[in-house]
Structure 1
Amino acid sequence: MIIKGNCQIAGIGIYLPEQIVTSKELMREIKSEANYGISESWLDDVVGISNRRVARRDEKPSHLAIKAAEEALKNSGITASEIDVVIFCGISREWIEPAVAHKVQHELGCTNAICFDVSNACHGFMNSILIANNLMQASDAKYVLVVTGEVSTDITFHYVDKLKVKDASLKKEIGALTLGDAGAAMVLQPREGESGFQLFNFATNAKHTNLCKISVAGTGGYEGQMLMSQISSEIVQIHSNLIQSTYSALDWKPEDIELFVCHQVGEKPHLRMSKMAGVPASIAPISYKDYGNITTATIPFNLYQANPKKGQKALIGGTGSGLTISQSGIIF
């Protein structure tokens, strides 16, 4: 599905917890060599993830989101009271009801904003940008704040405890050890001239839902699986099936792309995504090495780190379990 772009980025903010946990520490904790015959350096050497940030116990998803939003508002030059809509899109939530966006709205002072949550696994931030984009087309919404706060490492440490038992299924559950915590926020406003999102191309293939599915167990904690190799292969294939229609709709060629930002779960999938898009890996910034899979925060984090120059053309590749993807063209 191709949707016209109506918005542009006014400002981005990020927030990272202070604590760093290494991959070797996690592998040592599960006794990977003794229990599974896998080196403690496997996540570093094979997946490409060396570190991740871990939130304090008192740092809730809304806390990370609010910290990131404060920076995004500052960078945009837009005040909290000017925000028309607040969307929280994190996988992590500190409560079921009401929407976490209500807490963000109140704490930031976005008193004139309507607010709600959006949930679509790691793809939630791109879905929220699309909703903001369409609100600007269909209503008088001028400024939309999209925020996320991910405390995914509570899943990580649940599975670390589980994987300490030798008969656990490492293949199904090691993906949980790739997660990291982060907050990210983006202020969006209507397009002006050539700048902004040119279009969005979205696709979903729900037959792959079971490849990555985590639920709350009846006895507490989590249950499910994250079959990372299969997920990555299917995701790249879905992107490959879509990329030519995206380039055609944009009237761009791969050599026009100056920045490629995509969701990241590790080194090999990242390189395959660059190849899929027909762009050199050198123009695709990485976050997985030092921060792991930061789920919905990945794309805004990498856009923030890249600090694009005015006029640059970028391709954004969004991904989420389900499986769901998007490809977006943007001119800064």
Structure 2
Amino acid sequence: MEMNCISKIAGIGAYLPKQRVTSDELMAEIASTRFGTPENYISNKIGIIERRMADEKTLASDMAIMASEVALRDANVQAHEIDLILYCGIERDWQEPATAHRIQAELGATSAIVLDVTNACHGFLNGISIADAFIANHSAQTVLVCTGEKQSNLTYEAIDQLKKLSSKEEFRKRLGGLTVGDAGGAMIIQRGNEHSGFQKMNFMSDGSHTNLCYYKHTDSGTQGQMLMREITVQILRLHKMFIDSTYELLGWQPESIDKLFCHQTGAKPHQGMASLAHQPINKAPITYDNYGNLTSASIPVNMFLNRPQRGEKILIMGTGSGLSVCQSGLIF
């Protein structure tokens, strides 16, 4: 699906917990050598050295709120000026009501309507597209798109399960739970102009791959798997199918791109995304090494830490289990 866009990023914010936990420490805790896997496998082969983990009292919404406060200051926007709040995290405070209600209350965004958007790691880009649609039909002028990911909950669950298991196949299914990190991300989205803003968004979904990455809560705990190698193959396949058409839609050549921001799960997938987009790796800032897979917070955190310059042409490549992908052109 091709989408014409009229919005821009007016402000970016991020929150990263202070606690650092290395991959080697996690692998040592589960005694990974039992599965024939060295303790440095994640750090050496996947490229994730460490990640941030929030304390047990921190909620997903807390991280979204702190990131949103930074984004508001960056955009020079007051909370009462927000018309719409979209919370896009996988992790939510509760199933009902929408977590966005707490974010509205804590920020004091009394004029905003709120809702949650969820689509795995792809949720944040879906949130931006919804924000753009509200702005395009003049229903909103200022939209807060935010997320908070406390994926350490998944990590702790994976550790508990792996300590009880000895099967290499079960280890492979749950290894992805040790690669994620906690973070909050936020953007203020407003109407753009001919000099700045999202130009196009190009979406594709393929629901035949839902089994590759999922988790759900059952009476006996969390059940799921993350088949990292298989996911990477299919994600790269989908992106490759329409990268040329995205460049054609934008009227851009690969060499005109200043920066590439893409969802990151590790070194090889990141290199693969840059390669199929015909971009040198030095144009694609990384976050996976020190922060792990930040799920839906990946894009905003990366853009916050590696902020583009005004006027730069940005290619964004989003990914989510299911599978869903998005390619977007942005003049920052």
What TM-score, normalized to structure 2?
Answer: 0.98
For residue 192 of structure 1, report the CA deviation from its aligned partner: 2.0
Secondary structure at 2:164 match in 1: coil
Which position in structure 2 is the counterpart of 1:156?
A: 155
Equivalent-residue separation in structure 1 for 2:218 and 2:20 (angstroms): 28
Instruction: Compute the displacement of 1:139 (Å).
Output: 3.0
Aligned to 1:41: 40
Name the counterpart of 1:207.
Answer: 208
Q: Do the aligned partners of 1:36 and 1:166 also contact (CA within 8 Å) in 2?
A: no
Question: Using the alignment, how far apart are the partners of 1:173 and 1:270 within structure 2?
Answer: 21
The residue number in structure 2 matching 1:316 is: 316
Show the counterpart of 1:98.
97
Which whole-Å CA distance do the structure 1 matches of 2:199 and 2:60 have between them?
31
Shift of 1:140: 2.9
Aligned ranges 1:137-216 → 2 under 5 Å? 137-168=136-167, 169-216=170-217
1:48 is matched by which residue type in structure 2? G
Contact 1:92 1:151 in 2 (8 A): yes
Counterpart of 1:77? Answer: 76
Rounded to whole Å, the distance in 2 between the matches of 1:200 and 1:157 is 36
Separation in structure 2 between the aligned mates of residue 145 and residue 180 of structure 1, nearest angstrom: 23
Q: For residue 227 of structure 2, what is the aligned residue in structure 1?
A: 227
Instruction: Give yes or no for the alignment of 1:3 onto 2:11.
Output: no
Tell me which residue corresponds to 1:89. Answer: 88
Deviation track 1:99-120 (CA, whole Å, cap 9, x = no partner) reads 0000000100100000000000
| Deviation string, structure 1 residues 250-286 (Cα, Å, up to 9, x no partner) | 0111101110000000000000000010000001000
Report how far residue 61 of structure 1 moved.
Answer: 0.5
The structure 1 segments of at least 4 consecutive aligned residues displaced by more than 3 Å after TM superposition are: none
Superposed, 1:182-331 pairs within 5 Å as 182-219=183-220, 221-331=221-331
Q: Distance in 2 between matches of 1:222 and 1:285?
A: 33
* CA-atom RMSD in angstroms: 0.8
**What letter matches 2:149 in structure 1?**
E
Work out the percentage of aligned pairs sharing the same amino acid.
Answer: 47
Residue 219 of structure 2 aligns to which amino acid in structure 1?
Answer: G
Contact 2:35–2:166 (8 Å) recurs in 1? no
Q: Which ranges of structure 1 fall in alignment gaps of 5 or more residues?
A: none
**SS state at 1:164 partner:** helix
How far apart, in 2, do the equivalents of 1:197 and 1:233 lie?
28
Q: Secondary structure at the match of 1:225?
A: strand
- The CA deviation at 1:175 is 0.6
**How far has the Cα of 1:239 moved from its partner?**
0.1
CA distance, structure 2, for counterparts of residue 246 and residue 103 of structure 1: 37
Query: Shift of the alpha carbon at 1:3?
Result: 0.3
Aligned residues: 330
Please give the per-residue CA displacement for 1:140-165, whole angstroms capped at 9, x wherever unaligned: 30000011000011111111111112
For structure 2, the residue ranges without an aligned partner over 5 or more in a row are: none
Answer yes or no: is the 8 Å Cα contact 1:51–1:292 preserved in 2.
yes
Which 10-residue stretch deviates more, 317-326 or 296-305? 296-305
- Preserved contact between residue 21 and residue 52 of structure 1 (Cα < 8 Å): yes
* Cα distance in 1 between the residues matched to 2:7 and 2:172: 41
